[in-house]
């Protein structure tokens, strides 16, 4: 056999069953939902599996394909990067990275936020934020919110409470947690959602103050707690959190991986809540499906930590390829008026979900902002107990019918669909998805009734 004939080219891929076997035999399983089939391509709101079947995507991939899968602007940006550069030595700042920093700092975040560092993943951006906060304050204690997800790397896994925490050894020291603001299922019985959230915040801060060794560094929060069940705090809670951080000389970190760049109908959740953090991290909604993330802070904080020797030196910091894509995403959001569409299309989607809620007792709550919505399934609305079995059955049936859904079904987090389609999705596609969801939910309820 000639050397060039040993391996198939991309045009001569192995048969489908061989590739499925290869996935089983050679890939490490990494948790979460996994499908028996493989996937071949994607366009707009549609993904296509290895049988050629089209599946409507209500989660924008991993909530990353904000402007749709393989948007022409992203394809053009990747092609342009191919004529310019994919990668440089990390000390060589590409022109396109400077341009992206200008656009983000000038047009997308509020003063005093201004200075960005661009990396590959949301976990990296949160590691940067935590390192900055610790160096700036000289402390190491971090207060996080229950239900949060900030990553699975060393520092971020310690402050993530919606992910698996068992079996990985000792977490980073100095991490404290307080209950998340759950407006649908308040922690303190007899209180309204807002009153309970504020009481939990006050109690959590008192617990932190009692346990603190006097070295506070940061409070980190997802402004909308997505992995915890798309929990939207009241504005009073976010303002109180800002005041609490300032009173303790702690950096307030907003993890806006899922909320920045238009998904919720605002430029950022900081804009929605009227609260400016000391450090903001962004990722999914900026990369549009490619690995791009950033940590953004003020000039004063950046100058302080730089003088103290701050480093976050990786092989792919300030890479030109994802920066070119980030610019294309921003320009597309502006050109196609996707912030406004997130509001209007999100309202259309939400109205359809509320219509289903009115017809199915099992839908206990519909919540969220813009095109980041949560639908919670319950056994009954009086008890509000989560219906995990129904969630699993309906999610599986949706996929069989051609709709990809993401459900959080951890016992302590309820049974919640996180619905976040591309901002470019059409009303017709939403109608199709809602019809599938209605059919799948009805069939799953009938199945559960027969099993009794």
Tens digits of residue pLDDT in 337-363: 999 999 999 999 999 999 999 999 999
Residue 302: Cβ-neighbour burial (10 angstroms; 0-12, 13-18, 19+): buried
Structure tokens at 21: 């076997």
φ/ψ (deg, to 5) at 404:
-95, 125
Identify which has the larger pLDDT, 409 or 262.
262
Cis peptide leading into residue 307 (ω within 30°): no
Identify the domain boundary among 283, 318, 335: 335
Calpha distance 169→328 (Å, rounded): 41
* pLDDT of 7 over the 50 cut: no
Q: Sign of the C-alpha dihedral, residues 383, 192, 352, 269?
A: negative
* pLDDT of 9 over the 60 cut: no
Does 34 share its domain with 105? no
Number of H helices, E strands in the chain: 15, 15
Catalytic hit among 134, 263, 267, 284: 284
Asked if the structure places residue 383 within a domain, the reply is: yes
Asked if the structure places residue 423 within a domain, the reply is: yes
Asked if the structure places residue 69 within a domain, the reply is: no
- Alpha carbon 91 to its chain's center: 29
pLDDT at 414: 79
Identify the domain boundary among 335, 370, 401: 335
Asked if the structure places residue 168 within a domain, the reply is: yes
Calpha distance 379→295 (Å, rounded): 41
Calpha distance 185→385 (Å, rounded): 9
pLDDT at 4: 44
Average pLDDT over residues 86-91: 96
Domain count, the chain: 2
pLDDT at 209: 97
- Specify whether 304 is catalytic: no
Does 190 share its domain with 104? yes
Does 294 share its domain with 196? yes
Asked if the structure places residue 441 within a domain, the reply is: yes
Does 367 share its domain with 408? yes
Q: Tens digit of pLDDT for each residue in 153-176?
A: 999 999 999 877 889 999 999 999
- pLDDT tier, 377 (very low <50, low <70, confident <90, very high otherwise): very high
* pLDDT of 398 over the 60 cut: yes
- pLDDT tier, 409 (very low <50, low <70, confident <90, very high otherwise): low
Does 90 share its domain with 143? yes
Average pLDDT over residues 282-303: 97
pLDDT at 13: 73
Domain containing 236 — which CATH number?
Answer: 3.40.640.10
pLDDT at 274: 98
* pLDDT of 408 over the 90 cut: no
Calpha distance 415→444 (Å, rounded): 15
- For residues 197 and 183, the answer to whether their CB atoms sit within 8 Å is yes
Does 256 share its domain with 281? yes
Asked if the structure places residue 428 within a domain, the reply is: yes
pLDDT at 165: 85
Identify the domain boundary among 300, 335, 370: 335
Catalytic hit among 57, 108, 114, 149: 149
- Specify whether 6 is catalytic: no
SS3 260: coil
Calpha distance 325→122 (Å, rounded): 16
- Specify whether 439 is catalytic: no
Does 85 share its domain with 21? no
Supply the mean pLDDT for the chain: 94
C-beta pairs of 382-389 under 8 Å, 24+ apart in sequence: 384/184, 384/185, 386/411, 386/413, 386/414, 386/415, 387/362, 387/415, 388/415, 389/448
pLDDT at 3: 43
- Specify whether 4 is catalytic: no
Catalytic hit among 57, 124, 180, 222: 222
Q: Tens digit of pLDDT for each residue in 27-81?
A: 998 887 778 899 999 999 999 999 999 999 999 999 999 999 999 999 999 999 9
3-state secondary structure 56-97: EECCHHHHCCCCCECCHHHHHHHHHHHHHCCCCCCCCCCHHH
SS3 228: coil
pLDDT at 10: 56
Does 281 share its domain with 341? no
Q: What residues make up the domain containing 283?
A: 74-335
Average pLDDT over residues 106-128: 97
pLDDT at 348: 98
Does 293 share its domain with 308? yes
pLDDT at 33: 72
- pLDDT tier, 11 (very low <50, low <70, confident <90, very high otherwise): low
- Specify whether 149 is catalytic: yes
Domain containing 367 — which CATH number?
Answer: 3.90.1150.10
C-beta pairs of 313-318 under 8 Å, 24+ apart in sequence: 313/90, 314/90, 314/119, 314/120, 314/124, 315/90, 316/87, 316/90, 316/119, 316/120, 316/291, 317/90, 317/117, 317/118, 317/119, 318/88, 318/90, 318/93, 318/94, 318/97, 318/117, 318/118
Residue 448: Cβ-neighbour burial (10 angstroms; 0-12, 13-18, 19+): middle
Please tell me whether the overall predicted TM-score, pTM, comes out greater than 0.85 for this model: yes
Does 94 share its domain with 113? yes
Catalytic hit among 255, 271, 365, 376: 255
- pLDDT tier, 386 (very low <50, low <70, confident <90, very high otherwise): very high
Percent of the chain whose pLDDT exceeds 70 = 96
Catalytic hit among 185, 258, 271, 413: 258
* pLDDT of 6 over the 60 cut: no
- Specify whether 284 is catalytic: yes
Asked if the structure places residue 437 within a domain, the reply is: yes
Tokens 């976050």 belong to: 312
Does 390 share its domain with 421? yes
Asked if the structure places residue 385 within a domain, the reply is: yes
Does 327 share its domain with 341? no
* pLDDT of 5 over the 60 cut: no
């Amino acid at each position: 056999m000639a050397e060039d004939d040993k391996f198939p080219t991309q045009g001569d891929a192995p048969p489908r069953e061989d590739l499925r076997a290869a996935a089983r035999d050679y890939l490490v399983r990494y948790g979460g939902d996994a499908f028996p089939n493989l996937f071949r391509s994607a366009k707009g709101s549609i993904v296509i599996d290895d049988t050629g079947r089209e599946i409507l995507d209500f989660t924008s991939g991993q909530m990353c394909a904000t402007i749709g899968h393989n948007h022409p602007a992203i394809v053009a940006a990747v092609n342009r990067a191919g004529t310019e550069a994919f990668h440089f030595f990390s000390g060589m700042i590409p022109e396109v990275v400077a341009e992206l920093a200008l656009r983000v700092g000038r047009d997308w975040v509020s003063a005093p936020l201004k200075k960005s560092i661009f990396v590959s993943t949301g976990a990296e951006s949160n590691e940067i934020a935590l390192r900055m906060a610790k160096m700036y304050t000289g402390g190491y204690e971090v207060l996080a919110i229950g239900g949060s997800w900030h990553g699975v790397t060393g520092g971020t896994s310690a402050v993530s409470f919606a992910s698996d925490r068992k079996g990985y050894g000792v977490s980073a020291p100095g991490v404290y947690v307080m209950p998340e603001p759950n407006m649908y299922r308040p922690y303190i019985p007899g209180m309204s959602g807002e009153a309970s959230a504020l009481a939990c915040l006050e109690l959590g801060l008192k617990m932190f103050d009692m346990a603190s060794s006097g070295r506070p560094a940061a409070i980190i929060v997802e402004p909308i707690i997505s992995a915890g069940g798309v929990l939207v705090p009241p504005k009073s809670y976010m303002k109180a959190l800002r005041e609490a951080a300032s009173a303790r000389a702690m950096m307030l970190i907003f993890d806006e991986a899922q909320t920045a760049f238009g998904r919720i109908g605002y430029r950022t959740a900081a804009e929605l809540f009227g609260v400016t953090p000391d450090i903001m991290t962004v990722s999914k909604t900026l990369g549009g499906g490619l690995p791009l993330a950033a940590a953004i802070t003020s000039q004063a904080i950046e100058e302080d930590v730089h003088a103290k020797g701050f480093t976050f030196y990786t092989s792919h910091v300030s890479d030109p390829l994802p920066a070119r894509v980030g610019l294309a995403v921003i320009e597309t959001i502006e050109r196609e008026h996707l912030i406004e569409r997130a509001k209007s299309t999100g309202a259309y989607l939400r109205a359809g979900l509320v219509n289903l809620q009115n017809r199915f007792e099992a839908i206990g709550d519909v919540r969220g902002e813009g095109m980041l919505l949560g639908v919670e399934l319950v056994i009954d609305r009086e008890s509000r107990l989560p219906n995990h079995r129904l969630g699993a059955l309906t999610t599986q049936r949706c996929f069989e019918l051609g709709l990809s859904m993401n459900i959080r079904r951890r016992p302590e987090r309820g049974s919640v669909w996180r619905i976040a389609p591309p901002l470019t999705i059409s009303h017709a596609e939403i109608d199709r998805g809602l019809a599938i969801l209605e059919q799948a939910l009805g069939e799953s309820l009938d199945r559960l009734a027969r099993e009794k």
